[in-house]
Chains A and B, each alone.
Chain A
């Protein structure tokens, strides 16, 4: 009998990018991440999924995270790709954070109903990626980690 050992996936590439929290940078962030992921030869729909999920996380940092901040906040976007086609993206802000993450994750929940938000941002991230992790605390900022496996494969 041979034990099947799960090998840890090897990171093949990574980047770290800091952008100003301005809405004009939403498309810039999408383009940068799309260009990075393109080397894994994703399908059109995989690339669209990644761009859309990333856009949600970056937009949230801008419109919610830094809502009441003085000056322009900064958003750190990190990305890594692993052997086998796994993509991990991290979007981090140092804004107001969330008191109740579970509530915020609910479909249709928005903390800013007066601004024509749909409350579907986290739902989009969850549906378009394989996993979503959110770390946040009031006054401490927010980190969102998105993982997507390319090639249609579960592990």
Chain B
């Protein structure tokens, strides 16, 4: 599981690439939380357009980062979830708790 970090005006965007299963989640969790704590942002955005596989362990990772951001006093949103992510999030009713943002397609 790889990720890219982008910081812009208090918004920390973490873009994940790869397969978000238990293995991938375990490898990314600690470093993602470190990024959040170090940046102390106003808002954390988890960009998931390049996550081509996601199961319930991925769900755990998303929920966990939501908690980490909230504990750090930051807002949280998921951005551009791939179909795999979207499906799992819908199944768990995560849309009620976590905001989803979509970039406008041209």
Q: Please give the residue numbers on chain A whose beta carbons come within 8 Å of chain B beta carbons, in ascending order.
A: 23-24, 26-27, 30, 48, 51-52, 55-56, 59, 62-63, 115-121, 123-124, 127
Contact = CB atoms under 8 A, between A and B. Distances in A.
B81 to A, nearest CB: 14
Q: Which residue, of A23, A26, A120, has the highest number of chain B Cβ atoms within 10 A?
A: A120
Q: 9 tightest A-B contacts by CB?
A: A23-B23, A120-B56, A118-B59, A116-B60, A118-B60, A59-B22, A116-B64, A55-B55, A121-B56
B35 interface: no
Interface string B59-92: 1110110000000000000000000100110011
Nearest to A127: B91
A24 B23 contact: yes
A52 B22 contact: no
Nearest to A23: B23
A26 B59 contact: no
A62 to B, nearest CB: 7
A133 to B, nearest CB: 19
A120 B22 CA distance: 13
B53 A123 contact: no
A50 to B, nearest CB: 12
